[in-house]
A and B are shown apart, each in its own frame.
Chain A
Amino acid sequence: MSDTQFERRFHDILEDVLGWDVTYADADGPATVEAWDSLAQIRLVNALETAFVVRLPDSALLEEQTVGSLKQLVAERGAVR
């Protein structure tokens, strides 16, 4: 999977969970995105795990994350970028 394909899929999932037709930057997180509450984060983690067929650590659910940190966690676990 190329970088652009990874990015595109990652952003598709962000938009499906947080709201369509919004561009999310790597620094975005609960502080900057209104829809990003604890439930949205759980949805996000589950959707990413299903789409990239990876298992993220519990910290992805329990600790505050950003777009960039989640991207990092997914990439570290094998989704090639």
Chain B
Amino acid sequence: MELTTPNDIELLPPAEDSAATASSQLAAGGIRDAVRGLVREGRYEDAWALLRPSLLVDDDPAIWGLACRFRRTATDQGWAPSCRREVRLALLCSYESTEFVEHVRVACAAFGIALDVYAAPYGQLEQEALGVNSGLVQFAPSHVLVAPTTADLSFPSLSENPEGAVTAEVKRWRSLWDALGSRLATRVVQHGFVVPDESPLGHLALRMPGTRLSLVRELNARLGAEAGSTVLLVDVERIAATLGKRRWVDPRLWYTARQPFSYEALPSLAKATAAVLAGDVGLAPRCIIVDLDNTLWGGVVGEEGPEGIVIGDGAEGEAFAAFQEYLLALRDRGLLLAVASKNDLAAAREPFERNPSMRLRLEHFEAFVADWRPKSAQIAEIAETLGLGLDALILLDDNPAECAQVASALPMVATVPLTMPPSEFIRTLEGHVHLEASWLSTEDRVRTSSYAARRHADALRLEVASLPDFWRSLEMRGRVRPVEAKTLERAAQLTQKTNQFNLTLVRRTPEQIERLAAEPRTICRTIELEDRFAQHGIVGVAIAVPDPEEPTTAVVDTLLLSCRVIGRTAEQHLLAHLADAAIGLGYDRLRGIYVAGPRNELVSDLYPKLEFVDAGEGRWDLDLAGSTLTSEYIVEAA
């Protein structure tokens, strides 16, 4: 297709943008024809496989418009993308949200979330949240998105009483969150406010605490502080600023249709919202795997030697160093780093050991694979070593052929080809990968050191004769405690994220666990574990509820352990405590359930191994009167 040249047409947006628009249209045009061809043949799955990577990488409104049309067409034909989690999202907003909802549906599908949406009538925020039998209440959402705009704020252009104005708005949103939280077992997600791009006071506005600009900035900060770990915030101001405020808002759309953002803004807002939801339901990536030559440094270490590679000095060297520091910052927030490189192991390790300009050191990597096998084999080994699913991994590699090999052999692994100059690596990573955590718990911060401890423990395992010797040598101490306010978040996070050692795969929000814990005959426990190498923090959850038909039977509704403590007998410690607590509440039987999922085969025979008796239909019973369930290798600490 021939494109119009800028000289032929009245330009909008300005000239420097039109080149980008034109090239992206070319890409969109190619994808459009391919997608439509596949849809005509009824091959929706193939069409989606073609669209999905572009959606994750690109915020091009033409591709997103195409994806929205595709989703509507395919859904009408009964097709739905395969998803790993479900979210029931209620939307409370004060504007025309049809297009936003369409885009959020597409974004959620791209992240693996099956989305059900209830859009409350617009402007009915308080009514829907407070109404006894409102549509919102009947919908029973897992998440409520509160999406106002700056136009909803009662801020004058210059306030006499800035503190009072901000406090009044904080109270308004805070009480809406409280009303939702207290009446529904739901997670609240709030869109932050966009600081207006017009300023009648010019740059003076920054020096005056009462200007609308200052008030909106202050409100965002205060809402962030109020939200804490319970309410999820989407920093809409930052997304709008990244795109550019003038492109974010199309005033014409606001006046004609009450839509507060442009079509160009919709993909990034939808994607950010979906990424925050994905993080909350445990779909965020867990481990970043990096290549070495021309990814972490310039040049080939096998040829230039550990001192000859480009790192630290010069334009390229500084860019590589900055990229290493960014990766370190990701590690500090709890992501794991690993290396997969086609190199000789000794040569690959040398720069980390001998080049003082390197920011990353060997101890920062939870796995380090350098040999001559295909990348996919290296990555499979890393997944195995770390006990992670392939869908939790991202590969960064400057060689697109390696990325393609991995994408074809292990399609669950996300791959990011770093084919651009190193100065653009950080932006590329930020644009491609949506690394949203719902909360940074102490456990996240200690997790990386805990994985390192696991490697030491694994090494130790080889030196001791038997598993019981190994367990004893670890000198493990456990703390089983009732779930309480400060452990709710972590307990919920574990139910969301744990796929392997998880008997029932029941996912819960903190609010749902809080409600369960308040029931007099339920038992909700967390376990904290430490050994001679590390504090692992809270690594397991067990919940028992009364059987509706046999009130003296306690059903183990949830039993799970983080993968870093599998094979340590922690489940036995946890179950022994659960049994004691059940006896204390007058139960005479503990009933275990195993629900098979894609990755929990590991625990399919847990209950029979612990001498629970087969009661049929995936149920296993333990008679509490004659129970011999004890924990031999873990000492309960005070």
Contact = CB atoms under 8 A, between A and B. Distances in A.
A9 B1 CA distance: 9
A41 B263 CA distance: 13
A79 interface: yes
Given A12-B32, A20-B73, A54-B9, A42 B256 contact: yes
Contact of A16 (B6, B69, B259): B69
Contacts of A47: 62, 65, 263
Contacts of B99: 39, 43
A20 B9 contact: no
B248 to A, nearest CB: 14
Interface range, B side:
35 or more
B76 to A, nearest CB: 10
Interface string A23-53: 0000000000000001100110011011111
B253 interface: yes
B36 interface: yes
B61 A50 contact: yes
Interface in B1-54: 1-4, 6, 8-13, 18, 21-22, 25, 29, 32, 36, 39-40
A5 B2 contact: yes
B62 A77 contact: no
B66 interface: yes
B8 A16 contact: no
Which range holds the interface residue count of chain A?
Answer: 20 to 34
A42 B8 contact: no
B252 interface: yes
A17 interface: yes
Given A9-B1, A78-B9, A62 B256 contact: yes
Contact of B4 (A17, A46, A62, A79): A79
Nearest to B40: A21
Most chain A beta-carbon contacts within 10 A, residue among B10, B62, B99? B10
A19 B40 CA distance: 13
Contact of A77 (B9, B29, B40, B253): B9
A80 B4 contact: yes
Contacts of A20: 36, 39, 69, 73
A51 B62 contact: yes
B8 A77 contact: no
B460 interface: no
Contacts of B6: 53
Contact of A39 (B4, B29, B257): B257
B51 to A, nearest CB: 13
Interface string B128-170: 0000000000000000000000000000000000000000000
Contacts of A53: 4, 6, 9, 11-13, 18, 21-22
Given A78-B9, A79-B8, A61 B65 contact: no
Contacts of B18: 53
Interface in A63-81: 77-80
Contacts of B263: 46-47, 50
A58 interface: yes
Contacts of A80: 4, 8-9
Given A1-B4, A79-B4, A49 B12 contact: yes
B252 A52 contact: no
B10 A78 contact: yes
A55 B4 contact: no
A50 B263 CA distance: 9
Nearest to B17: A53
Nearest to B266: A46
B182 interface: no
The 8 closest A-B pairs by CB, nearest first: A78-B9, A55-B12, A46-B263, A78-B10, A16-B69, A61-B256, A77-B10, A80-B8
24 contacts: A1-B3, A2-B2, A16-B32, A16-B69, A17-B69, A20-B36, A21-B40, A39-B98, A39-B99, A39-B257, A42-B256, A47-B62, A50-B25, A50-B263, A52-B9, A53-B4, A53-B12, A53-B13, A53-B21, A55-B12, A58-B256, A77-B10, A79-B4, A80-B8
Interface of A: 1-2, 5, 9, 12, 16-17, 19-21, 38-39, 42-43, 46-47, 49-55, 58, 61-62, 77-80
